[in-house]
Amino acid sequence: MKKSVSELLKRKGVLPISMLTAYDYHTATIVDEAGIDMILVGDSLGNVILGYENTLAVTVDDMIHHGKAVCRGAKNAFVVIDMPFMSYQTSVYDAVLNAGRIMKETNCQAIKMEGGAEYADRIKAIVTAGIPVVAHLGLTPQSVNTLGGYKVQGKSVEAAQKILDDAKAVVEAGAFAVTLECVPEALAKKVTESIDAITIGIGAGSYCDGQVLVCQDMLGYTDEFSPKFLKKYANLHEIMLKAFREYKTECEQRVFPSASHVFTISDEVMEKLY
Ligand code: KIV
């Protein structure tokens, strides 16, 4: 049965929520089969799938293209799709229009957008249109050029207070969940205790109502990305590299394909060819 907003809200303080990113059908089916509660089609697909250096070039069409595939694979998991850079910053009208397109064309259950009180009007309008919203505070990668890099946020009194105030503002505007990225654990705990919405942390410690990781990161697709908060549950880089190298060798040595991989034809037919 598809998970719902009310079901997820009931988990607050009861049972932590699991969330992973996915960008394609097959990954979504496996994440779903594992019983993961929520899937995020993150705009991290810009880095992870499309090879951009950041998320800024990702378009609404990119999100819809990958979101559709994920939604087809997620039978039970609650699917959230990111609003990419410049799809909501420009106006309330653009925000509702793009959130509506994403939900209508993908069949997702909610959208996620970065930013705090300054986007409360967008959140309110999107929720009013019937689209559940997940907010995103702390390290907001779409603002990488303003933040000056991918750093832990909310370390000073002012910065921590702003994150707390923003969390209250986005929930007041109607967000049912808040993603907290790269903030100190004690601040994430304070935010979690201060709002009725669920908090989903990435690099935000263990007191959040749920956790999210980028699928490729936790599977160890690359050995180049190892931030402090990341736990690698597998080393797919090593497994894939070994498989690809073995395949290359077997192609070169004609070990593959072997007899069990080939189709046969009768000698009688072959003899008639000229
Ligand atoms: O785009 C993304 O994958 C995200 C997560 C890092 C939370 O926003």
Ligand 1: lining residues by beta carbon, under 6 Å:
21, 40, 42-44, 82, 136, 179, 181, 202, 212, 214
Quick check: 240 pLDDT over 90? yes
Torsion sign, CA atoms 221, 222, 228, 232 = positive
Per-residue model confidence (pLDDT) at position 270: 98
**Which residue has 């959130």 as its token pair?**
99
Mean pLDDT of the 68-81 span: 98
Mean pLDDT of the 110-129 span: 98
Name the pLDDT band for 112 (thresholds 50, 70, 90): very high
Name the pLDDT band for 219 (thresholds 50, 70, 90): very high
Output the CA 158–ligand 1 centroid distance in Å: 24
Per-residue model confidence (pLDDT) at position 5: 98
Output the CA 244–ligand 1 centroid distance in Å: 29
With contact defined as beta carbons under 8 Å apart, do 173 and 167 qualify?
no
Q: What is the pLDDT of residues 2-58, one digit of tens each?
A: 999 999 999 999 999 999 999 999 999 999 999 999 999 999 999 999 999 999 999
Task: Indicate which residues carry an active-site annotation.
Answer: 181
With contact defined as beta carbons under 8 Å apart, do 10 and 210 qualify?
no
What atom in ligand 1 is closest to the CA of residue 42?
1
Tell me what the pLDDT averaged over the chain comes to.
97
**Angle (CA) 91 39 229, round 5°:** 95
Quick check: 224 pLDDT over 90? no
Per-residue model confidence (pLDDT) at position 123: 98
Quick check: 260 pLDDT over 90? yes
Which of 133, 179, 218, 230 to mutate to test ligand 1, by most ligand atoms within 8 A of the CB atom? Answer: 179
The one-letter amino acid at 164: L
Quick check: 67 pLDDT over 90? yes
Name the pLDDT band for 223 (thresholds 50, 70, 90): confident
Per-residue model confidence (pLDDT) at position 225: 85
What atom in ligand 1 is closest to the CA of residue 181?
7
pLDDT: which is higher, 1 or 94: 94
User: Taking the model in full, what pTM does it have?
Assistant: 0.97
Quick check: 230 pLDDT over 90? yes
Pairing assessment for the beta strands 133-138 and 198-202 based on DSSP bridges: unpaired
Which of 21, 150, 216 to mutate to test ligand 1, by most ligand atoms within 8 A of the CB atom? Answer: 21
Mean pLDDT of the 66-91 span: 98
